[in-house]
Amino acid sequence: MKQIALSLCVSCIAFSAAQADVTVMSWGGAYGFAQNEAHLKPFTAKTGIRTVMVDTDNAAAPIKAQVDAGNVTVDVASMELADAIRLCDEGLLETIDPAILPDSNDGIPAVDDFFSGGLTDCAVGTDLWANIIAYDASRFGDAWPSKAADFFDLERFPGKRGLKKSPKAVLELALMADGVPAAEVYGLLRTPEGRARAFAKLDAIKPQIVWWEAGAQPPQLLADGEVVMTTAYNGRIFNARVDEGKPFEIIWDGQISELNTYVIPKGAPNLEEAFEFLKFATSTDGLAAQAKYISYGPARKSSNAVEIIYKDGVTVMGPNLPTAPENMVNALETSLDFWVDHDTELNEQFNAWLATN
């Protein structure tokens, strides 16, 4: 009887492991759809391990709350690199040895294949995305906005403006629109004078600002006519234009780019399966596959070398990516060190500014 019970128990354990779900927390909308189609579904088809996606506006806060409470329900999370570094420093994420990641299809080790910043102690880069300015072309005549400065020009381009309710990528844009070269933005933002200059620029349009917090909101604000221009994630605008036929255009001047990553929360309930998912999703083909569904540049060089065609089977993705040379003429890469050091104080200053008339 003991032998039978033991056999049954081993069978139960094997069955339970086979039925483990990998729960992936992502951003929802077009981005979540891209990861679901490119990573979750193919991973399940290949391994038989079920996957579940849950949406959030930003995974950093819920992951921190789950780990602090000792009640982790997420195995893998999609997270901005700055947040991943911060949570890693706080001991809230599993460490990831880059040696476990697959080589490129040409045999290049992962450590040599990812772009700068794409591999950290607790995170693996997935894609490079950009905060850009988008506008509804149907709301203007022959003179269309084309520069970051035009976002703040209410005389030539009247109408409401959409801005993310956060200092990050808003203060930088304000300074670039005020003529500050990209290379000098963070040096200036470290000074009281630089911050005052950024807020003064925002003051000029403050009565016309419609604040947004979730990535799905900017294209909806444009579609509903609530704003004529808005900052947005470039992939959301691309999808609205190509998939839905919206008359939206992107201003690449002053784009602010950042890496997104996959992380594994400390105490993930299905740790082994989480690492298997991570290796699958961040392979050359895995990252190239994500760019078939959304216009974010893959974090691996080998993935960018692949000719990527959008899911419509027609649109070539290269010119629509933030990394296209013509889109990088006046671009700024988010300074992770700056935001790790100054996030708290600038959020406090930003919230105080919001509260003033």
Same domain, 346 and 228: yes
Mean local confidence (pLDDT), 315-322? 92
Same domain, 340 and 191: yes
Residue 74 · residue 263 · CB < 8 Å: no
Give the number of other CB atoms < 10 A from CB of residue 65. 12
pLDDT at 12: 37
pLDDT at 7: 39
d(CA 56, CA 32): 10
Mean local confidence (pLDDT), 281-285? 98
What 3-state DSSP class applies to 89?
A: helix
d(CA 72, CA 67): 6
What are the angstrom distances between the C-alpha of 74 and each of 31, 44, 99, 267, 344? 18, 17, 24, 9, 26
What type of residue sits at position 256? I
Mean local confidence (pLDDT), 186-201? 98
Q: What is the CATH number of the domain that holds 250?
A: 3.40.190.10
Encode pLDDT of 24-74 as tens digits. Answer: 999 998 889 999 999 999 999 999 999 999 999 899 999 999 999 999 999
Same domain, 121 and 136: no
pLDDT at 340: 81
Same domain, 208 and 349: yes
Percent of the chain with pLDDT over 70: 94
Same domain, 142 and 119: no
Same domain, 203 and 219: yes
pLDDT at 89: 94
Same domain, 216 and 297: no
Mean local confidence (pLDDT), 166-193? 97
Instruction: Please count the structural domains in the chain.
Output: 2
Report whether pLDDT(342) > 50.
yes
pLDDT at 325: 81
**Structural domain boundaries, residue 165:** 129-258+328-355
pLDDT band, very low/low/confident/very high, at 137 (cuts 50, 70, 90): very high
pLDDT at 8: 38
Same domain, 223 and 182: yes
pLDDT band, very low/low/confident/very high, at 3 (cuts 50, 70, 90): very low
Phi and psi at 160, nearest 5°, equal -70, 150
Mean local confidence (pLDDT), 1-10? 39
pLDDT at 20: 66
Mean local confidence (pLDDT), 164-168? 97
pTM of the full predicted structure? Answer: 0.77
Same domain, 237 and 252: yes
